[in-house]
Amino acid sequence: MTESTNGAAPAPTFEAARPTFDAAQEFDLRDDLRGYRAGFLGSDDAAIVSYLDGNSLGRPLKASAARIGSFLQNQWAGRLIRGWDEGWLALPGKIGDELGRAALGAGPGQVTIGDSTTVLLYKLCRAAVAARPGRREVVLDTDNFPTDRFVLEGIASECGMTLRWIRPAHDGGVRAQDLGAVLSEQTALVVLSHVAYRSGYLADMHLLTAQAHEAGALILWDLCHSVGVVPTELDMWGVDLAVGCSYKYLNGGPGAPAFGYVRQDHQAVLRQPIQGWLGSADPFGMGERYEAAAGIRAFTSGTPPVVGMLAMQDMIALIDKVGIASIRAKSISLTTFALRLFDDVLAPLGASLASPRDAQRRGSHITVEHPTFQTIMPALWEKGVIPDFRNPSGIRLGLSPLSTSFAELWRGVDAIREELAG
């Protein structure tokens, strides 16, 4: 692959026989969203040749740097403890509503921000199994993220329940026939990922949710690898519960807090197990006994992570401005170009694809496998090319639509090609 920019050529298509650097540049020129890339810190850093790990940690927005600086000076230093009464305590619900509107298809009063993904998974899953007394099984898949599996193993042990495992295809995810084979009158809860963390498979949330409900079960969706890049309609599709992180495509920064969705009609019924003072009806009454707050605040526990919530607000606002449908269209274009690059230069070197080719079943990353990938990662990082390695032999190309360019993607795959070719 030669980085050539000579001569004029017809406008390329994603089905072009050779996905060249010229083609990548042309796609960037024709990208209606290209102007937003400049709003991310580090997007013009020459030392970072290709950042392909936005599905693990998104770049920070320049607006977030300004917001954080202003907060430190004007709110934390300027208002001190008065800030709690002047808006900080309301941030989990306020930002939750903004996220619900911009990216989740969730009406107000159903999304809260706080805790880690692991803690929120425990809280909502534990509440869900308690709401289905007499049912003794939880359904999940063997390719779900370790946190999801580990949390549910703990809950099953704690509650004397049985885990029913789905084993999805290596390059796919959970399909209707897979879920149907394990559902029964004993199923209390189904826990699935909207986009599989390894393969990038995009599950049919609407269909699988309906299946779980037909069996009388509740369903919780892990949105960590889909929120911000794949449209969801949590309310319209009747989803019961959802959890996701904010440091990937929501660009909230390392360790930014998670979010939880609890459908309106479940909020008065489900009782989350970590009864902290800020989830109580009257936190400052300092009462002797716990009484849950009304609404989504009942699913909070401790002090809101105010500093951790700052950066995600800017990305949520940007998603709202651009529109999740436009972001999804750019995501499909990027992953389609990545597949063309794989076919052209990586497959001939012995690499294999572990992701769906169908764009409608694919999130915003693809996984390519080769037995030497782990050994070449240090060399790639040294070159300023940063993809994501997943054991035992997979490199994930994570493509953030508003901060990743086609030329950047081309350069990253070309560097991988060079290392494989030796």
Give catalytic residue positions: 145, 222, 247-248, 396
Provide the token pair at 229.
């890049």
DSSP, res 100: I
139, β-bridge pairs: 164, 190
Q: Give the Cα separation of 41 and 63 in Å (integer).
A: 9
In 142-235, which residue ranges form alpha helices assigned H by DSSP? 146-159, 176-180, 205-214
Q: Which of 336, 309, 315, 312 is nearest to 402 (CA)?
A: 315
DSSP, res 26: H
Compute, in degrees rounded to 10, the torsion defined by CA atoms 178, 182, 185, 191: -70
Please check whether residue 340 is in contact with residue 13, taking contact to mean a CB–CB distance below 8 angstroms: no
Provide the 10 A C-beta neighbour count for residue 351.
22
Residue with tokens 């921000």: 113
Please check whether residue 112 is in contact with residue 93, taking contact to mean a CB–CB distance below 8 angstroms: yes
